[in-house]
Chains A and B, each alone.
Chain A
Amino acid sequence: MTTKKKEQAKVVSQEQLADGIFSMWIQTEAAGSARPGQFISMYTNDGSKLLPRPISICEIDKEGGKLRVVYRVTGEKTGTEEFSQMKAGDTIPVIGPLGNGFPFEKAEGKKVFLMGGGIGVPPILELAKQMECEKKQIVVGYRDAHTFLKEEFEQAGELYISTEDGSVGTKGNVMDAIRENALEADMIYACGPTPMLRAIKQYAEANGIECYISLEERMACGIGACLACVCKSKEKDAHSNVHNKRICKDGPVFLSTEVEI
């Protein structure tokens, strides 16, 4: 059954949140079924750039049929730079929602860490909004005082911030923030750069905490066919028949013990 398609989404609004960080709301059919932790493939209108840019979903407005993406412009003349110049009313080709998303329902009755680092921070927002749990501890790490989405996070739970330069919150990374504030959890959800996820995975496994991490890798198709964006799996994967899982299709969110990073 053909149920999905590349769609011309409409840009509703665009604003710059910090140096190189942009926020865009788009009107899209993808909003209807989107879950926190899923992503959309965004395509440029530049014919020399063929591959989709996988961008995580930051907020979902199901009723309004809108999605918010918060993304980093990766350089001059890049696809993300093109996105950042779009204005309300422009159209942008997208496919989504893609991937599996965070299993946030499992957090019910739990003390939870919701952890994000760098450009892995945005998907934590919708996760925090939808999650119902006993204790919602949001721990997000930034490079410097450009703590984008801070106000929204303050509305969504207990917020702890770390910055690499120490300008806001704990100086260091998200793990430092946990230690400094003596935080505890029995469930973790995280998205961010690989070194951060590696540290969280290690911490979770050393303390016997159930932990879900959202991984990232260079993608081509975004729908599970090309096998570009694989990660190592602990056990032999049933689909690939080797120790590889597809981040776009089997992920991007994995139980930390399933994967090796």
Chain B
Amino acid sequence: MDMRVNIAGVEWKNPVTVASGTFGSGEEFSEFVDLNKLGAVTTKGVANVPWPGNPTPRVAEVYGGMMNAIGLQNPGIDLFCKRDIPYLKNYDTRIIVNVCGHAPEEYLEVVERLADEPIDMMEINISCPNVNAGFLAFGQDAKHVEELTGQIKKIAKQPIIMKLTPNVTDITEIAKAAEAGGADAVSLINTLTGMKIDINRKTFAVANKTGGVSGPIVKPIAVRMVYQVAQAVNIPIIGMGGISCAEDAIEFLLAGASAVSVGTANFHNPAVTMEVIDGIEAYMKKNGFESVKDMVGIVK
């Protein structure tokens, strides 16, 4: 059984990574899972300087999922390069660094800083719904996405994954813009903007008022979007949105994702990624697939 996949020239030992923000930089989860077994670790978003994030409460449970408005709290790129990258280098897995910012200059500063670091790929978060400064609008506008992708590609030394928001009318337009800008891959979906009211406290369940909805409840939307984007672009797709078992992951692969990320499910079971990897292998055996690559996008 060949579990390997190739994403924009980078070979992963299997198609499973984790969704940015759900796994830190891996250290806390290393007590529960063998990071060597993951196809890649995708880190929590890092910015040019430390960000304090949003006020609490930052999370709320919703039926079949959760809502978060962490606000991209992160230690900043300097400490990240000194601490988190060396930590991950202890493991035999691919390192994907998620990059966030408020404005193009901030993204570019981080991308430039990472250019000579020993990481395998970068994922550009142009879609977090929880920070101000018209940030989400950025990932919702095809022209801006193409422009930023182009600017990043000029200075990046690693393959670039553009992470797309589902909070748009037509996600294929944004995916095509990323491809036109030179993106090496796209990942989708980020969280869906939602709201929950706490009827006992008579206020918003998260302090930010709105938050990003994730978990099993968003999966059908995510599968649909991955399928649509797979028909629209020729670059690889990393699919995510509510994956909590191997069967979920296989849906994404069949719909056109070359790899998958497990996110919210890590909070329900810190070792879920191992079960997803084993389950994909078992499915392949049962269904006569020699290679993961043979499964990708076969449902048309």
Report which A residues bind B (CB closer than 8 A).
1-6, 43, 47-52, 75, 95, 217-231, 239-244, 249
Contacts and interface: CB of A to CB of B under 8 A. Distances in A.
B228 interface: no
B59 interface: yes
B232 interface: no
A50 B267 contact: yes
Contacts of B79: 241
Interface string B56-69: 11111101111010
Nearest to A43: B268
Given A220-B66, A228-B68, A2 B31 contact: yes
Interface stretch (B47-55, B134-142, B169-177, B185-193): B47-55
A3 to B, nearest CB: 5
Contacts of B22: 221, 225-226
A242 B50 contact: yes
Contacts of A220: 59, 66, 68, 267
Contact of A230 (B44, B58, B264): B58
B204 interface: no
Contacts of A227: 24, 44, 53, 58, 70, 73
B171 to A, nearest CB: 25
B269 A6 contact: yes
Contacts of A51: 59, 61, 66, 267-268
A50 B264 contact: yes
A218 B59 CA distance: 7
B21 interface: yes
Residue among A47, A228, A230, A249 having the largest count of chain B Cβ atoms under 10 Å: A228
Contacts of B52: 242-244
B241 interface: no
Contacts of A52: 267-268
Interface of B: 21-24, 28-34, 44, 50-53, 56-61, 63-66, 68, 70, 73, 75-76, 79, 200, 215-216, 264-271
Contacts of A241: 50, 75-76, 79
Closest 10 CB pairs of A and B: A241-B75, A225-B24, A225-B28, A228-B59, A218-B57, A242-B52, A241-B50, A50-B268, A224-B28, A4-B31
Given A6-B270, A51-B61, A221-B266, A240 B75 contact: yes
A221 B264 CA distance: 9
A230 B59 contact: no
Contacts of B264: 50
Nearest to A49: B61
A48 B63 contact: yes
A197 B160 CA distance: 47
B266 A228 contact: no
A230 B73 contact: yes
Given A241-B50, A241-B79, A50 B65 contact: yes
A211 B58 CA distance: 27
Contacts of B28: 221, 223-225, 249
Contacts of A75: 200
A95 B73 CA distance: 25
B56 A217 contact: yes
A49 B216 CA distance: 10
Contacts of B59: 51, 218-220, 226, 228
Contact of B32 (A4, A48, A226, A239): A4
Nearest to A243: B52
